Structure 1
Amino acid sequence: MTQKIDLVFRTIGERTSAIALELAIQNIQPHQVHIIENIKPFSAAVNHMLTINYDCDFVVFMDADCLILEDMAHFLQNNQYPYVDCYVLDKFRGHIHQGVHITRIDLVQHMKQVKVPEYDLKYVLRPESRVRAIALAELKLSKQFKPFRIFHDFFQSYTDIFAKMALRELRSRTHHTKIQLTAAQRYWQERADDLDFVVAHHAVKYTHAAIAPDAAPEEIAAFIAELPNIAAIEVPKLNLPAQPALTMVEIEAKARSQWNWQLSRTSQTSPSEVNVRRDRKVFGIGLSRTGTKSLTAALYTLGLRTIHYPDDETTLRELSEGNCNFSVLQHYDGITDITTIPYYMQLDKLFPGSQFILTVRDKQAWLDSMERHWSGRPAFGDEDENQLNIDKEVHLKIRRFLRAAVYGCYEFNADRLSYVYDLHHKLVLDYFRDRPESLLVLNICGGQGWEDLCQFLGTPVIDQPFPYTKKQSALMALMS
C-alpha cells in the first residue's frame, strides 16, 4: 500500500528557497506540501507546524537551507521507523544529522501535546529538537539515522549565514561543543578566500562578545529573535560584494565535485539518481572510544553507508547464534565499532576484498575515556538519559554480549582492558601482515583524517572538516 508522505517546507526567504522546494518535491514526491513562510523566530515556526491537520503516514520536516540531491521516495515508501534524522553535508561542520527529519504521524501527534516551559534553555536553542526528544522519550521510541546526499547551508545569503552562525555560538557553550566550534573556526580561517567563512567567523565573534556565558534563557531568546535585524546591520560592515542569483548549474557542479567518487562509479550523471555501491564492505574494527563514531561519519561523507554499533533485535539474535553474516549488511556498506571485533576474520572471508580500519589512540587516554564511558553505562541497567529512547532490553543484552566477547568483563578494570587493547592490536596486525592494502591503522584522536582515509579507500581527498565526533582529544590535538 502506498504511504502518504507530507512535506513541511520552512522558509524565511533563503537564497536557496525556490530551488530547494523544487528539489524536495522531485525527490520526496509528497502527497501534500505545507509551506511555512517567514515565521520568526524558529520556535514560532515549530508551533505553527504543529497546528497543521495532517492526513498522512509520515511528515518530512525540512528547511529551505537544504538541497536534496538524491531520490528519497523509495526509502520513504518502505520506511517504518518512527523517526529518522537525515545526515546532510553542512558547509561549516561537515557531515551532521540536521535539517531534514522524517517523522511518523503518531509521533507528530504526540509532539502536539508536549508542553515545554517557555524559557527552557534547550527549547530556546533547539525548539523542534527539544519537543521531538520529549515526545520520543514519552512514547519510548527510538531515533534512527539515514545518510542522503543533501547540501545544508551551502549557497546561503550572507545575512542568513550570520544569523545561523551566531546561533551556533550560543549552542556551543559547553566544554565539548566549544572545542568543536574552535576547531571549525580554524578550518574557516584556512579558507578565508571563501567569504561565507569570513561572515561565519564574524558572527561567532560578535555573539561571543554580545551575550555573556551566564546569560539567562530570556536574554538568549530575545537575542535570537533579534538576529535578523542584527545581521542586517553587521554584514554590510564587512563590505562584501553582492551575491548573484543562484542557479541549478552551480549546484550541480558543486554536487559533482563533492560526490565525484560516487558519481564516477556509475554511468549516470545526475547526482539525484546515483545508488551507493554495494559490492564491497568496509569494517571498522577499532575498540570503543577510539573514534569509531567519527569514522562512521567520515565513511558516510565518502558515500559508504556504514552503521555504528547496530542494536536491533535481529542483530542480537544473530550475535547469539554466532552468525556474523549480519542482516544489516544487506542495507549498509559496512559496520563500525565492537560488533565486528569477534568476527573480523570471518567477515574477511564472507566478503572478499573488503577493507578494514583499526582505529587507535593513546592507550592511557583510551583507558581514561573507557572509565568515564562505562561509569554511566552499567551492564545490567542504564542510567544514561541518552538511552531513554532505545529498547533497553535489547540494547543491554547486546551490551553484555559484546563486553563479554570483546573485553572479558562487564565493569571497568584497567588491567584487563589494557591487556585487551594490546592483544587486539597485535592480533589485527598479525592477521593482515601480508595484506597491507586491506588494513588501515587510523589514529583519529591523534589528528589523522581525510588524507589517510581517502588514500586507503582510493578516493580523492575532500575539502571539508573531518567529523571528529565527540572526540575532545582529537580536537585538542588539531588546535595544539
Structure 2
Amino acid sequence: MSHAVFSKLKRKLKMLLVEFKSKKKSKGKTKYFCVGRNKTGTTSLKAAFEALQYPVGQQRRAEILTMEHYFDGNFVPIIKYCKSAQVFQDVPFSYPETYKQLDQAYPGSKFILTVRDNSEQWYRSITRFHAKRFGKEGRIPTVEDLKAAQYVQPGFMHNVIRVHGTTEEDPYNKDVMTAHYERYNREVMEYFKGRPSDLLVINIAEQGAYQKFVEFLGVDSPYDDFPWENKT
C-alpha cells in the first residue's frame, strides 16, 4: 500500500470515528441548523457551538453531498447525513430549499439565520474572500478560475456561485447576487413566520447578539461573545 493511499485511508477512518462519537452524543437531542448564507458569520457560529461542546457536522462531508446531490434536488442523502451530529452549518444548509426539507424531516429542530448589516456589506465580504482564495492576483474570480479551483473538487466553487443565479459571463454580478441574498433571507423569515421559538435571526456583529444566541439555546455560557472567524 502506497503512503498516499494509506494516508487517505487513515483520514477516512479518523473521520468515521469522529462521526460515530458525534452521532452517539447527538442522539435524541434537538438539532440546530445554521441557515444563513455564506459570509454572514456562519464559521463563527460554528465555533461558538463547538465551544459549548455541541457536536457539529463535518463540513467536508456536507460539501461532498452538496456536489453530488443538492443540484439534482435529491435531499435524501443530506437528510440522512444529519443523523451524524447535532449542529450543521455552511453548504448545503445555507442554500435555498434545504431548510424546508430539514424542517419536515426533523420536526422540533431549531434554525438560525445569520445576516449582515445589509446586502452591500455581504457582497463586499464574499467577493473579497473569493478574490483572495480563488482569483488571480487578488481579483474577483472568473468562471474559469472557479471551475479550476481545487477546493473540495474541481467544479465545486463554480456550483457555489451559480446558486446566486448569475451568468457564466458575469458570475459575480452585484445586482443579481444582492437580490438573491435579500430574497433568500425574506423567504426564510416568511417560512418561519409565526414560529418565533423555531427561528433566530441574528447579526453576530451586533452588541448583545451572543446573549440572544445562548438564550435561544436555553443554556448558560462562560463566554461573552462570538469568536471571530474568517473575517472579511
Q: Is residue 370–residue 412 contact of structure 1 (8 Å, CA) maintained in 2? A: no
| Partner AA of 1:324 in structure 2 | F
Equivalent residue for 1:392? 153
Name the structure, 1 or 2, with higher relative contact order (CA <8 Å, separation 6+).
2
Q: What displacement does 1:303 show?
A: 2.8
Query: Is the partner of 2:188 in helix, strand or coil?
Result: helix
1:90-140: CA deviation from partner (whole Å, max 9, x where unpaired): xxxxxxxxxxxxxxxxxxxxxxxxxxxxxxxxxxxxxxxxxxxxxxxxxxx
CA deviation vs aligned residue, 1:387-444 (integer Å, no higher than 9, x gap): 6xx5433xx33x3334323x11262111111111211121111111110000001111
Count of aligned pairs between the two proteins: 202
Aligned pairs for 1:64-79 (under 5 A) are none
RMSD: 3.2
> Aligned partner of 1:372: which letter?
R
* Mapping for residues 23-422 of structure 1, pairs under 5 Å: 80-81=10-11, 276-279=25-28, 280-307=30-57, 309-310=59-60, 313-325=64-76, 326=78, 327-340=80-93, 341-342=95-96, 343-363=98-118, 364-375=120-131, 376-377=133-134, 378-382=145-149, 391-393=152-154, 396-397=155-156, 399-405=157-163, 407-409=164-166, 411-422=171-182
Separation in 1 of the partners of 2:214 and 2:54?
Answer: 12
Matched to 1:335, the amino acid is: F
Following superposition, the deviation at residue 471 of structure 1 comes to 2.5
Q: Is the contact between residue 309 and residue 339 of structure 1 (CA under 8 Å) also seen in structure 2? A: no
CA distance in 2, matches of 1:312, 1:436: 29
Tell me if structure 2 keeps the 8 A contact 1:293–1:469: yes
Classify 1:465/1:448 alpha carbon distance in 2 versus 1 (closer, same or farther; 3 Å): closer
Residue identity opposite 1:367 in structure 2: Y
Structure with the bigger percentage of strand: 1
Residues 148-206 of structure 1: CA deviation (Å, up to 9, x unaligned): xxxxxxxxxxxxxxxxxxxxxxxxxxxxxxxxxxxxxxxxxxxxxxxxxxxxxxxxxxx
1:309 Cα deviation from its structure 2 partner: 4.6
Counting aligned pairs with the same residue, the percent is: 27
Contact between 2:32 and 2:87, CA under 8 Å: does it hold in 1?
yes
Which residue of the other structure, out of 428, 431, 445, is the alignment partner of 2:205? 445
Q: Is the 8 A contact 2:54 2:86 kept in 1?
A: yes
The whole-number CA distance in structure 2 between the counterparts of 1:357 and 1:346 is 15
Mapped contact 2:66–2:91 kept (Cα < 8 A): no
1:457 counterpart residue number: 217
- For the structure 1 residues 83 and 294, does the alpha-carbon distance in structure 2 shift closer, same or farther, using more than 3 Å as the test? farther
- Which protein is bigger by CA-based radius of gyration? 1
TM, length-normalised to structure 2: 0.73
Q: What 5-or-longer segments of structure 1 have no aligned partner?
A: 1-56, 59-78, 85-142, 148-274, 473-480
